[in-house]
Amino acid sequence: MAEWRRELALEVPDEIEGGGPPPSLPEWASIYTEAWDALRADRSLGQGVIGRIYYASMAGYARDIGLAGEAFHRFIRFVTALDDEYVAAAYERMKKAQENGQK
């Protein structure tokens, strides 16, 4: 299991059914989850804004592992989708923290 999934389970156990570990993903998804895990810090952050992973970072990673054509485009779509979910969850956590008077 990717480290980011373990961390997410610890950070937001109430958002994972039963508070247990996240469900297993199919083997084919590992290329995308491992890429997201490697690239997740390659974004702009600041003043309550969480940017998306830079396209150039995703493209460079994809090219480094030999992806081209449709596989390249699929890679960008999947990693972007994972990142969109991460950003949405992060904003939801920030919103809840603000509602509770936390920073």
Cβ(67)–Cβ(54) below 8 Å: no
What pLDDT score was predicted for residue 3? 64
Torsion of CA 85, 91, 96, 98, to 10 degrees: 170
CA 26-39-59 angle, 5° bins = 90
Give the tens place of pLDDT for each residue, 60-101.
Answer: 999 999 999 999 999 999 999 999 999 998 888 888 888 887
pTM above 0.85, yes or no: no
Give the tens place of pLDDT for each residue, 9-50.
Answer: 555 544 455 556 667 788 888 999 999 999 999 998 877 788
Cβ(53)–Cβ(32) below 8 Å: no
